[in-house]
A and B are shown apart, each in its own frame.
Chain A
Amino acid sequence: MTELTSRDLIIQATYFVASILFILGLRSLTKPTQARLGMQQAAFGMLFAVIGTLLNAHILSYQWIMIGLIVGTIIGYPMAMKVAMTSMPQFVAFSHAFGAIAATIVGVVEYRHMHTIDAMGNMPGMSRGVAAAIGFEVLFGALTVTGSFMAFGKLQELITGRPITFRGQNAFNITLIAAAFVSLGVLIYNPDTTWAFYTLVSLGLFLGVSMVLPIGGGDMPVVISLLNSYAGLAASATGFAIGNNVLIIAGALEGAGGFILSLIMSKAMNRSFANIVFGAFGSAPAASTKAGGPTKEAKTITAEDAATQLAYAGSVVIIPGYGMAVAQAQHTCRELHELIQKKGGKVTYAIHPVAGRMPGHLNVILSEAGIDYGALLTDVDDANRVLASADVAVIVGANDIVNPDAEEDKSSPLYGMPIFRPWTGKTVFVVKRGKGTGFSGVENPLFTKDNTLMIYGDAKGVLGNLVKEIKALDEGH
């Protein structure tokens, strides 16, 4: 090892401080009240690391670095300040893509640099260990870039949210993955094999597209978590490639975070873990159309009657789904919440781990509307206990997460998924756009249960009517 200069020591010190602040920042996220401060400190850690890097002796020109930092800030700032909470999944996908572009490019530049003949006529070359790291870096990086852009396109509805499949898709993907590993093997065996390196980059770009295409909108929480993990691994591999510990640590943290979220999402959807790791989750649903239609007709209720019941309810549980986000009904929901509360009822929310398009999505949307996070029940078992004694459960834009088939019908594709049991309470209102099925295409027998009443219409409109009717009740007195 070469002797450390005092400048190197300062740089390493900034990286060390940054690493510690990152870990403390993530730890602060275990407590909602401390989280903000902790993450602000982590941001300072990032600033230290950047300032430290600027002292690096290899940097000869600052012009493009400064312009790059300024341009990036000009793009990033308004993006973050303007984005609506309902669009968080798209935003995160976009952000993953940007981080991954950077990681991939750093890999390419490093590889090129090590394979350029310098003025003395020598080529630095690289060891097999570095070649392995750089290979993983560009593979995961490139895959995350296109995968995230595809996810972004699907979430933003630039591409259809339905799974896009073709015959032999799995075989095609497996071939791509096999080819990627062969290229990686060749690159590690002989780090100077330039074609293997660029093949790896291209295969990564292809894989990102072909792995996300067959995935439907409802499976997005898994995809985003997985891309989160891949983006982290790419950053970590960058750290291995350029010998930088803070990159290894930060990448490992994101890798672990994405991994844990993928596990939680897969559990909440009752998908196997292997299914998640290999990204082969596209083909699972879309089965079972055999149900043969509901045997009973679902009952409906008018907004006026529903409002009366809500106004005199002691305990109301609202179960929101992605439909609430789509209809932007969260603010109207808060109004309804406050009215019921004023009438003496207690309102809580049952939030399923996979409700929305990314982990924890609806918590953020409801909090944005000013709903106290103390009212959000995020544990399925806790929520079911509250639901059992509830006077009214209101389901807004959710479907599969309240489908009793998940517990009762072994042939259902949803079977085994942990769900809410609103029918164990007194009355269930289902606010629903139309008579269609949920994302998974499965009939929902909840709608024909004896204590279930349907209110058809757009979530925002229906909740608005309920608010109006409850107010009218007051004036009637």
Chain B
Amino acid sequence: MLQIFQLYVFVLAGFVGFIVIQRVPPLLHTPLMSATNAISGISLVGAIVAAGGQYGTVSTILGFVAVVCATTNVVAGFLITDRMLAMFKGQKPATAKAAAEKAAQAGAGK
């Protein structure tokens, strides 16, 4: 029963993802990929339980490795996404101004 409920969650989340992500412009496809990658670093949640559950030495070591990898994934993923998006943000006013200038220049050129 629980798994059928989970399947609902999966399918609905998949639909939401599909509809939302389809509208992301090609301009932002690279940040989109690093963003979804960072978000799916949520495996960290599972890794934390594995590392702290005291399921035995081997499991703790494996869990520790998983925590390191997932944390790297999350931290690096969100930071690089932010770095990229910072390049696209704040250019908008400049765009409008530049476009106006371009139009004026084009007018003068003709």
Contacts and interface: CB of A to CB of B under 8 A. Distances in A.
Contact of B30 (A235, A345, A361): A361
A51 B33 CA distance: 25
A264 B6 CA distance: 29
Given A72-B68, A83-B80, A247 B17 contact: no
A30 B79 contact: no
Contact of A245 (B6, B53, B62): B6
Q: How large is the interface on B (under 10, 10 to 19, 20 to 34, 35 or more residues)?
A: 35 or more
Interface string B58-75: 111011111111111111
Given A80-B79, A372-B91, A95 B37 contact: yes
Contacts of B54: 60-61
Given A109-B66, A225-B33, A372-B95, A23 B44 contact: no
Interface in A209-243: 224-225, 228, 231-232, 234-236, 238-240, 242-243
A171 interface: no
B83 A80 contact: yes
Interface string B34-60: 111111111111111111111110111
A54 B48 contact: yes
Contacts of A245: 6, 9
A32 B39 contact: no
Q: How large is the interface on A (under 10, 10 to 19, 20 to 34, 35 or more residues)?
A: 35 or more
Given A240-B10, A246-B45, 13 more contacts: A19-B13, A25-B35, A26-B17, A27-B20, A46-B41, A50-B45, A73-B75, A76-B75, A77-B76, A77-B79, A242-B46, A363-B27, A374-B91
Most chain B CB neighbours (cut-off 10 Å) among A39, A71, A73, A372:
A39
Nearest to B22: A260
A274 interface: no
B66 to A, nearest CB: 4
B70 A72 contact: yes
Given A236-B10, A341-B105, A364 B37 contact: no
